[in-house]
A = this chain, B = another copy of it.
């Protein structure tokens, strides 16, 4: 249930690559495809997707290519992946375009909503620089909060508000 699509992987690799060869930045599809061993055609679409998402800027013509539009520390994991994942929710009813054919009396709806919110929140703190430098250490190693506890906490908070 957690698996990212292949396109997402390509996207992550691409961002990784372009961040490393940060030199003065511009990288063509062909160049990247060969360097990272990715089918050029599909990589092209992936990069187009990233551009549409605002993560890359494109330069056409000879000598052109793509360039990261902002520093890698400011790019979230979810930003990179989102264009290639039809939905990021745990459950279809939690989606924007979000209908569920089943009747409205689903006992799973509420807990899943809480779970979904928590998961997304966790992931939203993942930035792409972590995929580059293992030594970029965070020393704030705090207590080992699990989804279980946090989810429960939030849920009960909501339940209190609701009555």
A interface with B by C-beta (< 8 Å): 1-5, 8-9, 12-13, 16-17, 36-37, 81, 85, 87-92, 102-103, 105-108, 110-111, 115-116, 119, 121-123, 125-127, 130-131, 134-138, 140-153, 155-156, 158-159
Q: Identify 9 new A-B residue pairs, CB closer than 8 A, beyond the known A1-B85, A111-B131.
A: A1-B88, A3-B87, A17-B107, A125-B147, A126-B148, A130-B151, A136-B156, A141-B153, A144-B145
Q: Are B152 and A136 in contact (CB under 8 A)?
A: yes
Number of copies: 2
User: Which residue on B lies nearest to A153, using beta carbons?
Assistant: B141
Q: Are A156 and B144 in contact (CB under 8 A)?
A: no
